[in-house]
Structure 1
Amino acid sequence: MSEETQVPERPATFREVFTEGEFRSVYLAVVLTWAGDYIAKAAITMLVFQQTNSVALSAAAFATSYLPWLLGGPLLTTLADRYPYRTVMVVCDLARMPLFLVLALVDLPVGVLLGLLFVSTLAAAPSQASRSAMVPLILRGDRLVVGLSLFSSSSQASQIGGYVAGSSIALYSPRLALLINAVMFGLSALIIWTGVRHRPPAPRETPNHLLRDTAAGFRLVFGTPTLRAIAILIFSSMLFAIVPEGLAAAWASDLAEKQGDHPELIQALIMASVPTGSVMGALLVGRVIRPARRQALIRPFAVLAPLALVPALLSPSPVIVALLAAVAGFAVTGLIPVTNALFVQALPDGYRARAFGVMNTGMQAIQGTAVLITGVLAERFPLHRVVGLWSVAGVLLMLLLAARWPQPDRFTAAIARAREARPTGTETSATPTGKHPLTGPPGPRPPSSEAGIGAV
C-alpha cells in the first residue's frame, strides 16, 4: 500500500509540513492574498450598505467575489493544466494588483466598483487551480491532509483578521483597505516567483479545445459516483455557513437598533465568528483526531452545519448569533479536509486542476447564490426568520445526503482505480483511448502528468 492510501497511526505534524521550503513560500503568498481580499471584502460590503442602505445591494457586493466562478471559473481553471503552475500564479497576482489600485485611487460609482471587483475575481480561478495542483507535488501522504487543514484554518484566520481590520479601516478610509489588497498581490507574486521552482506543464499528446477539456473535468466529477457524492455534500454544506457572513452588515444594523450597540462592531463580530469556528474545526481534524476516525465524522459534521443556525429563529443577541455562526463554521471546516483528501486521491493524473475548477466553481457559485437569495428574502421578511428557516431546510437536505453517503470501501476502491490509471514507467503514458480512467465507459482520454489537488 502506497503512502497516499495507507492510513498512518498518527497524524503528520505541522513541523513536518513546514520543512518543505516550497510549501512555506506557497503558504505565505496565499495567506497574504487571502488577508488582503478579506480586508477589501469587508470594506466594500460596508461601503455599499452605507451608500445605498440596501440589504440586497450589500449582499450583492459580498456575492460579487463569488459569482465570477460561475461564468469563467471552469474555463479559466483549465488553463492550470496547460501552463506552468508558478507562472499562472504570478501572472494572476500581477493582473489583480492594478485593478485594486484603480479601486483604491479612483472615486467610482457602486456599479463600476462591483464590476472591477468581478473582473479581479476572474483571475482568482486559474491562480487557485494552479496552487491546488502544485501542493500535492510538494506534500505526500498524511502531510497532504495536514497541509490542507493548515490552508483551511489559515484561510479562516485570515478572514478573522481581514474582516475585523476591513470593518475598522472602512470607518476611516475604504480606499486604504483596497490599497492594502493591491500591495498584498504584489508581495504574493514576488514570493511565488522567488520561492517556488519552475515545473513544466502537463505533457499533452494533442492540443484539445479549452471547452472540451473543461467538459472532461465536469464529466469526471459528476460521472464518478464517489466524486459526485463528495461534490454534492460539499456544495450543499456551503449553502448555510456563509449566510451569517453575507448578511452581516444588515444583521448588525438590525441588532444595533434593538440593543443600541455599534453596528460596525457587531458586523465584525458576526463576520469573524464563522472563520473562528472554522479554525478550530480544521485544527481539531488535522491535528487531534486520528486519521482512522476522520471519515466517520463526515456525516455528523454535515448535519451540524445547518442545524447550528436554526436557533436564529428566536432572534438571539449578537453574542449568541456569533456563537451559532462559529459552530456552523466549525462543522463545515471539520469535514472539508477529509473529503478533500479523498477527492484528491481518487483523481487521475492530468485531471486534477480541472476537477478543482469544477469544485471551486460550484462552491463559489453556491455561496454567492445563497447570500443573494437570503438577502433578497430579508428585504421582505425579518432577517432572523430567513436565516432560521433557511437552516431548517438545510437540516432536511443534509440528513438525506448523509443517509446516501458511500461506505469507506467504495472510496478505497475509487482511490485504487485512480492509482492504476496513473502512468507507469514513463511520465508520458496515458490510459487507453476510449476508456474513462475511473469508471471504464467511453470517455475522454486523459493526458498524463504530475497533477495536484483538485478539490476544495
Structure 2
Amino acid sequence: MGQDRPATYRSVFAEAEFRPLFGSYVLATAGDMLAKLALTVLVYERTGSPLLSALTFAISYLPWVVGGPLLAALADRLPRKQVMVASDLARAALVALMAVPGMPLAALLVLLLLVSVCSPPYEAARSALTADVLTDDRYAVATSLVGVVQQLAQVVGFLVGGLLVTALSPSLGLLLNALAFALAGLWLVVGLRPRPAPDPGADGPVSLGADVAAGLRLVLTTPRLLAIVGLLWVGTLVTNAHEGIGPALSDQLVGSQALVGVLLAAHPVGSVVGSVVVGRFCPPRLRERLVVPLVVLSVGALALAGLAVRVLTGDAAVVAFVSLLAVAGFGTAWLIPLNVAFVRAVPPALRGRAFGVAVAGLSAVQGLGALLAGGAATGVAPTDVVLLVGLLGVPAVAVPLVGLLRTRPPATSPVAGPSGA
C-alpha cells in the first residue's frame, strides 16, 4: 500500500485484536440502545408520563457530563482490557436485575444510572486500545467504521428495538440486552491479549483526582488539543441541535408526526455515507485538507435547509429540507480526520483521560444544543430555528477552525499514524 493510499476494510479486520474490539463494540452499542428504549417504554407503561420516560432516556448521558473525565481516567490507571471486560460484565449483571418483574421504578432508574456509569471507562479504554492496536491509516478507517455503526444504530436500531420491545416485552428486551453485554465481555476476554496498565511516567502513580486534573490541563492548555476539542464541541452543538425539535419540525412541515422518523434519520443517513466515502476512499492527506470544506458543508447545509422552506412550498419544501439535512450529515465526516488529529496529539499514556474530557464536553453540548433549539422554537418557526442555527454556526465554527489550522504540525508521513506523533 502506498504512503498516501487509504487503508482498506480488509486490512483493518486483518488485525486480529481489532475484530473483538469492533465486534464487542457493536454488541455493546446495540445493548445500550436496547436498554434505553426498553426502559423508556417500561417507565411509560407504568406511569403514563412522557416527562418521566424522557427523563429515563436522558439519564444515560448524566455520568459523562458529571463524572466523565474522572471515570475515563481509570483507562489510564488500569489494564485497558480489564477495564472493558469489567464494564461489559457489570452492565450485563445490572441490566439483568432491571429485567426482574416488579422492580420498583426508583430502583430501575438507579440501576440505569449505574449502567451508564460504566460507559466512560469502557469508551475511554476502547478508544485508547484501538489506537494502540492500529498504528497507521487503518486507525482512520476504523474510526469511520465506528461512526457508521453509531449512525446506523440511530437509523435502524430504534426501529428494530421498538419491534422487539413492543412485540415481546420490555423485560425480555432487557434480558436480550444483558446477553449482548455478556457476549461482548466474553469476546474481549478471548480475543484481546493481556497488556499492562499504561506507564505512569517518571513521577510514578498519582491520585485519581490528579489524573483528572492532568487530563483537563493537557486538553485546555495545549493549543492544538484545545482547537480540536473546541471544533468538536462547537461543531456538534450546531449540527445536532435540530434533533431536539424533530416533532416540532414534522408538525410544521406536514401537520403531524408522520415525518418525525424521516427527519431524525436523514442526518445519520448522510453521516453514514460521508463516513464511508471520506474514511475509506479518501487518501490520508486529502482527508486532512477536507476538514474545512466539510465543516462548512455540515453547517451551511442547515442554513440552506431552513432557507428552502422559506422559498419553496408543499412537497418540494419537504424534500429539499430532508435532503439538505442528509447533506449536512455527510459533512460531519470531518469528525474522522479530527479524531485522528486528536489521537496523534495526545501521549498514549494520557489518552483515556483526554478522551474523557472530550466526550464529557461532547455530551454536555448535545444536550445544550437540543435545549437551545427547543427554547428558540417556542418563539419562531422550527425550520427558522434550523436556518438561524446554520447562519450563526458558520462564524461559531470559524474560531476553532482557525486555531486548528494555526496549530497544524509540520507535514509528516501519513502512515506514521496516531502512535507516530
TM surpasses 0.5: yes
1:143, CA displacement in angstroms?
1.3
Counterpart in 1 of 2:266?
273
1:186, CA displacement in angstroms?
1.1
Counterpart in 1 of 2:284?
291
TM-aligned CA distance change 1:11 to 1:406, over 3 Å: same
Structure 2: tracts of 5 or more residues without a match: none
Moved more, 188-197 or 370-379: 370-379
Counterpart in 1 of 2:336?
337
TM-aligned CA distance change 1:257 to 1:38, over 3 Å: same
2:405 is equivalent to residue 412 of structure 1: no
Counterpart in 2 of 1:39?
34
Partners of 1:167 and 1:268 within 8 A in 2: no
Moved more, 385-394 or 147-156: 385-394
Find the aligned partners of 2:60 and 2:365 in 1 and give their Cα distance: 12
2:180 is equivalent to residue 178 of structure 1: no
Which is richer in helix? 2
2:342 is equivalent to residue 347 of structure 1: no
Q: What whole-Å deviation, never above 9, does each CA across 1:310-357 have from its counterpart, x for those lacking one?
A: 32473887655543332232212x111101111111222311111111
Counterpart in 2 of 1:121?
116
1:122, CA displacement in angstroms?
1.4
Find the aligned partners of 2:226 and 2:349 in 1 and give their Cα distance: 18
Structure 1: tracts of 5 or more residues without a match: 420-450
Find the aligned partners of 2:298 and 2:253 in 1 and give their Cα distance: 26
1:45, CA displacement in angstroms?
5.7
Mapping for residues 296-307 of structure 1, pairs under 5 Å: 296-307=289-300
Q: What whole-Å deviation, never above 9, does each CA across 1:26-66 have from its counterpart, x for those lacking one?
A: 10000111122233445556777886675x76664544322
Letter in 1 for 2:152: A
TM-aligned CA distance change 1:379 to 1:191, over 3 Å: farther
2:202 is equivalent to residue 203 of structure 1: no
Letter in 2 for 1:192: L
Partners of 2:252 and 2:382 within 8 A in 1: no
TM-score, normalization by structure 1: 0.78
Counterpart in 1 of 2:255?
258
Partners of 1:10 and 1:290 within 8 A in 2: yes
Q: Please, which of 11, 14, 18 is the counterpart of residue 23 of structure 1?
A: 18
TM-aligned CA distance change 1:57 to 1:232, over 3 Å: farther
TM-aligned CA distance change 1:284 to 1:82, over 3 Å: same
1:289, CA displacement in angstroms?
1.6
Partners of 2:99 and 2:175 within 8 A in 1: yes
Counterpart in 2 of 1:323?
323
TM-score, normalization by structure 2: 0.84
Letter in 2 for 1:231: V
Find the aligned partners of 1:279 and 1:81 in 2 and give their Cα distance: 31
RMSD: 3.4
2:71 is equivalent to residue 76 of structure 1: yes
Partners of 1:238 and 1:366 within 8 A in 2: yes
Find the aligned partners of 1:387 and 1:108 in 2 and give their Cα distance: 41
Partners of 1:99 and 1:116 within 8 A in 2: yes
TM-aligned CA distance change 1:390 to 1:9, over 3 Å: closer
Q: What whole-Å deviation, never above 9, does each CA across 1:195-244 have from its counterpart, x for those lacking one?
A: 11111102345331111111111111111111111110011111133334
Mapping for residues 219-258 of structure 1, pairs under 5 Å: 219-248=217-246, 250-251=247-248, 254=251, 258=255
How many residues get paired? 407
